[in-house]
Amino acid sequence: GVMEKLGLGPEVLLQDNSRLIYARLTGFGQAGKYARSAGHDINYLALSGVLSKLGRKGENPYAPLNLLADFAGGGVMCAVGIVIALYERTKSGKGQVIDASMVKGVAYLSSFLWKSQNSGFWSRPRGENLLDSGAPYYETYKTSDGKFMAVGAIEPQFYEQLIKGLGLDSDKLPSQFSYSDWPEMKKRFASVFAQKTQAEWCSIFDGTDACVSPILSFDEVASHQHNKERNSFIKNDQEDISPRPAPLLSRTPAVPSFERDPFIGEHTEEILLEYGFTKEEVAKLYSDQVIEFNKVKANL
């Protein structure tokens, strides 16, 4: 209802331009019991059902930063909705309103969890299934230098290479899919991984299909050979590192900016003046706390 209060709701603007695509991105959606309630990523995850699936055995559900609902279920799904509406407009010539709810977006993003419930993937409690840290071959392990390795050797042929790299004999181990033996196998794998450094494990597993990778920190990721060869990360003029835009388009690739990101409110006054607001109007908007200023001070 915020835009309606400003007289800029979709009904008003679509009357002026019937081709307009009007995207409304909210946490709980435009209607419903919680529509006007405050919330954050963890709340939207909770209401979507996804949060109940995240976490280890015997622990509380775990919210993985604020990536799933805010950015994936919210921002990305909203952007997809805009692209779909743009495509539809090429046929109908008409715009439409997009109700992008983070709850519904992240729920739809988790369709695989819903569609695979009867496949055996999620038949056990949280933290005891194949992909939620239950399996010893889909887990993270600490190395002797305090770093970590990620293991995702699901397929039998990949699992065999994992076992070989760990220096174990598969004939003397329980079956890969023996659920009852998973806890003990995790302990055994952990004790083996703890005997070598991350670099030593990389020298063993790099170039194999064991699905074993180093868990890189933000300080390490840009200098890793694979990422360097892919030019996956860039530095701006302040030497700050960030991911290069993705996905990569062959004919019209994104051209990243190498300038630092602007501060919130840094260009507010400049943009409003450019669009015809007077200085008095801008000052009134600021005093009413509608806009924010953040002038960058010179370092003298």
> Which domain CATH number covers 91?
3.40.50.10540
Tell me, yes or no, whether 106 and 142 share the same domain.
no
Q: Among residues of the chain, what percentage have pLDDT more than 70?
A: 98
> Is residue 193 scored above 80 in pLDDT?
yes
Tell me, yes or no, whether 149 and 64 share the same domain.
no
Tell me, yes or no, whether 150 and 203 share the same domain.
yes
Tell me, yes or no, whether 7 and 61 share the same domain.
yes
Q: Does residue 146 lie in a domain region?
A: yes
∠148-150-156 over CA atoms, to 5°? 145
Structure confidence at residue 299 (pLDDT):
45
> Is residue 295 scored above 80 in pLDDT?
no
Tell me, yes or no, whether 169 and 71 share the same domain.
no
Cα–Cα distance for residue pair 233/243, rounded to 1 Å: 4
Tell me, yes or no, whether 184 and 90 share the same domain.
no
Catalytic residue IDs: 40, 70
Structure confidence at residue 5 (pLDDT):
86
Over residues 262-279, mean pLDDT: 93
Structure confidence at residue 293 (pLDDT):
86
Average pLDDT, the chain: 94
Tell me, yes or no, whether 143 and 112 share the same domain.
no
| pTM greater than 0.85 (yes/no) | yes
Confidence at 53, pLDDT banded by 50, 70, 90: very high
Q: Does residue 129 lie in a domain region?
A: no
Structure confidence at residue 296 (pLDDT):
60
Q: Does residue 172 lie in a domain region?
A: yes
Residue 75 is classified by DSSP as: I
Tell me, yes or no, whether 173 and 203 share the same domain.
yes
Q: Does residue 222 lie in a domain region?
A: no
Tell me the three state secondary structure of residue 242: strand
> Is residue 199 scored above 90 in pLDDT?
yes
The CATH number covering residue 152 comes to 3.30.1540.10
Range of 102's domain? Answer: 2-116
Residues 6 or more apart whose Cβ sits within 8 Å of residue 151: 136, 137, 138, 139, 140, 141, 162, 189, 210, 211, 212
Contact by Cβ (8 Å): 269, 296: no
Structure confidence at residue 145 (pLDDT):
98
Q: Does residue 221 lie in a domain region?
A: no
What type of residue sits at position 134? G
Structure confidence at residue 123 (pLDDT):
86
Confidence at 42, pLDDT banded by 50, 70, 90: very high
Tokens of 288: 């009413």
* Domain count along the chain: 3
Bigger pLDDT: 196 vs 296: 196
Over residues 198-214, mean pLDDT: 98
Tell me, yes or no, whether 112 and 6 share the same domain.
yes
